[in-house]
C-alpha cells in the first residue's frame, strides 16, 4: 500500500524521492530547527497541491504539490548514504512529519473523493 499526502480535495502519492529530497533539505538547516522546517515543508506541499487543483497551474514557489518540489524550492544538500547518522535522523524526521500531518490534517486514500480515479490509473 502506498502512503499518501494531501487534503481530502487533493491526494498525491508520497514517493521515495519526496522523502529523500525533504531529508536533504533538512540537512541544510540547524538540527534544532529541523522539526519546524519539516512541518513547514509538508504544509508547503499541501498548499501547492491545493493551488494546482484549484488553478490547474504550478504553485509559483512550491511547484506541483509534491514534497519533493517543496523541498527543492528551499534547496537540498547532496544526498549521503544511510551510513550517515545525520541523514538517517533527517529521514526519520520527515517520516514523523508526514505521519503527524496525516493524523491531524491529511487524509487516507480510501477517504478521498479522488481515490477511485487514482486507484484506476
* Separation of CA 53 from chain center: 16
Provide the domain count of the chain. Answer: 1
What pLDDT shows up at residue 78? Answer: 98
Chunked into runs of 10 residues, the chain (121 residues) has average pLDDT values of 43 85 98 95 91 92 94 97 98 93 62 38 36
Q: How does DSSP assign 69-90, residue by residue?
A: HHHHHH--PPP--TT-HHHHHH
Residue 23 in any domain: the answer is yes
Residue 34 in any domain: the answer is yes
Residue 93 in any domain: the answer is yes
What pLDDT shows up at residue 70? Answer: 95
Residue 7 in any domain: the answer is no
Question: Cell numbers of 59, please?
Answer: 504553485
What pLDDT shows up at residue 12? Answer: 66
Amino acid at each position: 500500500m502506498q502512503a499518501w499526502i494531501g487534503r481530502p480535495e487533493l491526494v498525491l502519492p508520497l514517493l521515495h524521492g519526496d522523502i529523500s529530497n525533504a531529508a536533504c533539505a533538512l540537512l541544510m538547516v540547524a538540527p534544532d530547527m529541523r522539526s519546524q522546517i519539516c512541518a513547514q515543508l509538508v504544509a508547503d506541499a499541501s498548499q501547492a497541491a491545493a493551488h494546482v487543483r484549484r488553478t490547474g497551474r504550478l504553485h509559483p514557489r512550491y511547484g506541483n504539490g509534491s514534497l519533493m518540489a517543496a523541498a527543492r524550492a528551499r534547496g537540498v544538500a547532496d544526498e549521503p548514504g544511510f551510513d550517515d547518522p545525520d541523514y538517517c535522523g533527517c529521514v526519520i524526521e520527515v517520516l514523523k512529519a508526514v505521519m503527524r500531518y496525516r493524523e491531524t490534517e491529511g487524509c487516507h486514500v480510501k477517504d478521498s473523493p479522488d481515490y477511485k480515479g487514482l486507484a484506476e490509473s
